[in-house]
Amino acid sequence: IITAGYNVAGPEVEAALLQHPAVAECGVVGRPDDERGMLILAFVVLKPDQNGDATQVKALQDHVKHTLAPYKYPREIRFVTSLPRTETGKLQRFALRKLALETSS
């Protein structure tokens, strides 16, 4: 994902998010953005006892900023109940990119 001139690896951001105690699973993709070229967007499945509110978004963003370089944090976080996967359990990033485009318009 190239955002504001920086190259950011989605799996690296996913690994940082998965270290947070509230995150069960996640997927990170780029979404087209007029200002930055691409925006880092994270789809996050929270653990059952967690709330997906603005405070949680900030906590996850701050966690990534402190774990990785500050420019690598997801500018947008969407909480979902599940992530699209293949029959073998592999994350379908193309489906997340499609969802990102559909819901951003």
Q: CATH code at 42?
A: 3.30.300.30
pLDDT at 104: 61
Helix/strand/coil percentages in the chain, nearest 5? 35, 30, 35
How sure is the predictor about 102, in pLDDT bands with cuts at 50, 70 and 90?
A: confident
Number of domains comprising the chain: 1
Indicate the SS3 state at residue 42: strand
pLDDT in tens, 45-84: 999 999 999 999 999 999 999 999 999 999 999 999 999 9
Q: What is the largest CA-CA distance in the chain?
A: 37
Expressed as residue numbers, the domain containing 49 is 2-104
Q: Which residues pair with 7 in a beta bridge?
A: 2
pLDDT at 3: 93
| Residue 2 to residue 23: CA distance in whole angstroms | 25
